[in-house]
Structures are given as C-alpha cells and as structure tokens.
Amino acid sequence: MGRQKRLMMKIDNPCSRHTTYSKRRDGILKKASELSVLCDADVGLLMFSPSGRLTSFSSNGRIEDVFLRYVDQPNELRGGPVSNEDYFYQRLRELKHEGEMLEKLSKYDFLSP
C-alpha cells in the first residue's frame, strides 16, 4: 500500500499542524538547495510559520540581494505580479542599508559584547 493523498485543507490540531509545517519546511528548504546546486540558479525563499517565525534561504549571498535582483528586473521578465510592490521594494532597500550598516559596525571591537 502507498501513501494516501492528503486533502488540502487547514489542519485543525495545532500540534499536528506544527509538525506538518516543520517537516514540509525542511523538505522545501532541501528542494531549494538542490535546485540551486543542480541548475546553478540563484534561489531565494522566505517563509513565515503559523506562529510568525521567519525562515529564509538564499543560495548565493544574502536573501535581500536575490529579491533586489528580482525587483530590478523589467516587468516583462518577472514571473508575475507582486502586490504592494512599492512597499516591497522600499523594505528591501532598507534591509540592504541596515545590513551594510551592521556589517560596518561589526568591524569595531568596542561595540561587541
């Protein structure tokens, strides 16, 4: 006997839902990593758990760089529309700026605990 097909609907039991999310999260992270290695593709993946915890994956460098590269593409080369694109673009720019500032600050020993 093989596995039964699972109906696509919300899992009511919170413990089962968390377990399923954790297993599927690990699986999709593995697939993203395999895709980047096998196809030499830049892959960026963002996921928020039901509790709001962020999981991110970037195959090459920082996740912000992958998404900024997407945002900088002309509309005809993008895969599809992004809702609230202006906010998305602005937030990515802020994250890049914050990351660069943190990188510069980390060079100063007196700021480290």
Look at residue 113 in the predicted model and tell me its pLDDT. Answer: 46
- Asked if 42 and 69 count as a contact pair (C-beta separation under 8 A), the reply is yes
Look at residue 90 in the predicted model and tell me its pLDDT. Answer: 72
- Asked if 25 and 32 count as a contact pair (C-beta separation under 8 A), the reply is no
Look at 73 and 112; give whichever has higher pLDDT. Answer: 73
Q: Do 107 and 81 reside in the same domain of the chain?
A: yes
Task: Determine phi and psi for 98, rounding to 5 degrees.
Answer: -65, -40
Q: Do 20 and 54 reside in the same domain of the chain?
A: yes
Within a domain: 3: no
Task: Determine phi and psi for 37, rounding to 5 degrees.
Answer: -75, -50
Look at residue 80 in the predicted model and tell me its pLDDT. Answer: 61
Q: What is the DSSP letter of 73?
A: S
Q: Do 53 and 79 reside in the same domain of the chain?
A: no
Number of separate domains in the chain: 2
Of 4-13, 60-69, 80-89, which gets the smallest average pLDDT? 80-89
Look at residue 60 in the predicted model and tell me its pLDDT. Answer: 85
Q: Do 44 and 55 reside in the same domain of the chain?
A: yes
Stretch 3-19: mean pLDDT: 88
Q: Do 71 and 86 reside in the same domain of the chain?
A: yes
Look at residue 81 in the predicted model and tell me its pLDDT. Answer: 59
Partners of 56 in the beta sheet? 46
Q: Do 37 and 18 reside in the same domain of the chain?
A: yes
Q: Do 65 and 100 reside in the same domain of the chain?
A: yes
Stretch 95-99: mean pLDDT: 68
Q: Do 52 and 92 reside in the same domain of the chain?
A: no
Stretch 67-90: mean pLDDT: 71
pLDDT higher than 50, residue 112: no
Domain boundary among 44, 60, 76: 60
Look at 14 and 107; give whichever has higher pLDDT. Answer: 14
> In terms of residue numbers, what domain contains 79?
61-113
Q: Do 75 and 44 reside in the same domain of the chain?
A: no
Q: Do 38 and 82 reside in the same domain of the chain?
A: no
